[in-house]
Amino acid sequence: MGRKRKPSDAWMPERVYRGRSAYEWKPRGGGTIRLGPLTMSRAELFAAYEKAQHDEVFTLSDLATKYFRSHQYHDLSPVTRKDYSDAWKQLEPAMGEAKPHEVTQVLVREYMDARSSKTRANRERSLLRTIFKWGIERGYAEKDPTEGVRTFKEAARTRYVSDEEYDAVYKLAPPTVQIAMEIAYLCAAREADVLRLKWSDVRENGIFIRQGKTNKAQVKLWTKRLRDVIDQARALRKEAEAAREAKGKVVTSIYVIQARSGQKYTESGFKAVWRKVLLKWLGEDADTNHPQWFTFHDLKRKSISEYSGDKQRFSGHSSRRVMERHYNVIPDEVKAHDPAKKTRKA
């Protein structure tokens, strides 16, 4: 809805107002467009308004830009913002130049069916839905084209990393990756949360971790193995700082897992290092379809699956259903039914 107008101005087109010296149109996409002087006739005003509407093109890209600048977007977790940003990079070339009302259910369905990854198609539909819901509430769109468009059924990832596989990769990994692996495994932590750990998060009673995806805060209490890996990280930190100082670069890193520069690893940078380690283990011709390939995130699944206490509390998930479906993949061992054998009469 636009601002209120005087009853005497009710004849004017929607969202058109009297300015100080001219009639002004304030389109839903934002901004102000001068239509002409206040001395123009009603017929001239309507003609100028129609021409301005024809010239003004508010596209899905414009709507997405407004959403990505909104408080609603910036209040999301860093992981979700990154996922939305990646999804928009796929969506924009396909439908960014379309006007919001031109994005239909059929267009969304065709787009999803054409995507090679069902998981990514679902995530991109989710972003579209979010953008349109945001836009509808603010008058930038009239309806949500994702309504009634079914998502693809996704199979939960069940890759379990054995101790033998973990040890084999650990031995081939550089010290920085070894430390990251141990923290992820011992604390059931996501890659982004491990890379974000600062030395200020290493506390007297354990390691403080705030999950970027759920915003859940936990302190993973000390165990001997966890203390050992932090001691290893401290030693590596001193070694790296001495090496940088010898080159005239005095950089004291605040991160437990640090790149050569002393700064935090970027997600892409760490993934590249991780990929090199996996290729070193499986062979240069291997790829993600190799039966033994596993992701860094799979270490969290290994950790939760093997944990002997309250798995949901340990994982930090608010939903037991999500935790069980995605992270607890070791089958329960239950005693078989063993009644006394009955003697059959002849």
* DSSP notation for 117-135: -HHHHHHHHHHHHHHHHHH
Confidence band of 333 (pLDDT split at 50, 70, 90): confident
In total, how many domains does the chain have? 3
Q: What is the pLDDT of residue 340?
A: 83
51 shares its domain with 65: no
Confidence band of 7 (pLDDT split at 50, 70, 90): confident
183 shares its domain with 284: yes
SS3 265: coil
Beta bridge partners of 210: 217
CA 7 – CA 78 distance, rounded (Å): 48
**Average pLDDT, integer, range 312-324:** 82
**Domain contains 90:** yes
**Average pLDDT, integer, range 35-56:** 86
Q: What is the pLDDT of residue 78?
A: 81
69 shares its domain with 117: yes
SS3 33: strand
112 shares its domain with 127: yes
Flag whether the pTM goes above 0.75.
no
**Domain contains 142:** no
Q: What is the pLDDT of residue 142?
A: 85
Q: Which domain, by its residues, includes 35?
A: 7-55
95 shares its domain with 49: no
CA 176 – CA 174 distance, rounded (Å): 6
Closest by alpha carbon to 126, among 83, 70, 155, 163?
A: 83
**Domain contains 215:** yes
177 shares its domain with 277: yes
CA distances from 137 to 74, 100, 340 (A): 18, 14, 68
281 shares its domain with 302: yes
Q: What is the pLDDT of residue 56?
A: 66
In the predicted structure, residue 49 carries a pLDDT above the cut 80 = yes
**Domain contains 145:** no
**Domain contains 1:** no
**Average pLDDT, integer, range 30-46:** 89
Tokens encoding 257: 């897992």
48 shares its domain with 82: no
**Domain contains 266:** yes
Q: How many CB atoms lie within 10 A of CB 31?
A: 8
Q: What is the pLDDT of residue 207?
A: 97
Q: What is the pLDDT of residue 29?
A: 60
CB 303 within 8 A of CB 184: yes
Name the average pLDDT for the chain: 90
248 shares its domain with 170: yes
221 shares its domain with 268: yes
181 shares its domain with 269: yes
pLDDT digits (tens, 9 = 90+) for 93-140: 999 999 898 999 999 999 999 999 999 999 999 999 999 999 999 888
Return phi, psi of residue 253, to 5°.
-80, 140
Return phi, psi of residue 30, to 5°.
105, 165
30 shares its domain with 64: no
Helix-then-strand count for the chain, H and E = 14, 5
**Domain contains 343:** no
CA 5 – CA 10 distance, rounded (Å): 7
**Domain contains 125:** yes
